[in-house]
Amino acid sequence: MVELNIDTTGKQIVEEYGSHADGKTFIITGPSAGGLGAELLVTLAAAKPAHYVLAGRTESKIAPVMDKIRAINPDIKLTFVQLDLLDNSSIRKAAAEIDAAVDKIDVLINNAGVAAKKEFVLSKDGVEAHFAANYLGHFLLTNLLAEKIIKSDGVVVNVSSTAYTLAEANTDDPNFNEGKDYHPWVAYGRSKTANILFTYALAEKYGGKLLAQERMPPGHPPPMPTLVSMQQGVATGLRASLDPELKASAPAFLKECNIATTLPYASDKAEALKLWSLSEKLVGETFGSK
Q: Which residues does the annotation mark as catalytic?
A: 160
Q: Of 179, 96, 82, 172, whose CA–CA distance to 130 is shortest?
A: 179
Q: Of 59, 2, 3, whose CA–CA distance to 30 is shortest?
A: 59
Q: Where are the alpha helices (DSSP H) in 73-214?
A: 88-101, 129-130, 137-151, 184-205
Helix (H) or strand (E) holding 73: none
Could you count the other beta carbons within 10 Å of the beta carbon of residue 105?
A: 25
CA distances from 167 to 85, 86, 163, 198, 243 (A): 22, 21, 8, 15, 30
> In what side-by-side order are the strands of the sheet with 77-82?
77-82, 51-56, 25-29, 107-110, 155-159, 211-216, 252-255, 258-259
Would you call 123 helix, strand, or coil by DSSP?
Answer: coil
What count of residues does the chain have?
290
